[in-house]
Amino acid sequence: MEAKIEFLKTKFIPLLQTIPPDTKGLWGVLNLQQMIEHMGDAFKNAAGKLILPPLTSGETLEKMRAFLMSEKPFKENTQNPYMDAKGAPTRQPNVTAAISRLEKCIADFFNHFEANPNATSSNAFFGELTFEQNVQLLHKHALHHLKQFGVIVTA
């Protein structure tokens, strides 16, 4: 868990900064800026600042949570019902600004759980998540999108 926390705090942003802004994803509809803004929203959700209605329950939720806690990666082209066929319109003026916003969202996530270590947050796909479960999800999600843009992380 510590390595995943360290990755999210210190390695994720520098890896994003190595990707040229005009890089096309190897799959999916998101451009680089959309992906970075999407990851910012994922951190906001994990910090309890962006609430989405639940999409899974019962047996499906149990299977989703088992996948979450595994080291299996997200599949390419994993569908997100909250995203349309073109991805969300960008909200920041450019990739640099999107990365700055993402940095703030990452810091807000860690600050939130530092101040509230027993807090949980509601995830539309995986239910109520603890800090450790959120770290697992955010790490898995970050690796998925880095791979989407050609950045392979081996550790």
pLDDT in tens, 23-57: 999 999 999 999 999 999 999 999 999 999 999 99
Domains of the chain as residue ranges with CATH: 2-75+94-148 (1.20.120)
Our CA dihedral for 129, 48, 85, 34, rounded to 10 degrees, sits at -110
Q: Decide if 142 contacts 38 (C-beta within 8 A).
A: no
Question: What's the predicted TM-score (pTM) here?
Answer: 0.95
The helix/strand/coil state of 3 is: helix
Contacts of 10 (CB under 8 A, 6+ apart): none
> How does residue 155 score in pLDDT terms, banded at 50, 70 and 90?
low
Which pLDDT tens digit goes with each residue over 52-68? Answer: 999 999 999 999 999 99
Q: Which neighbouring-strand residues pair with 127?
A: 123
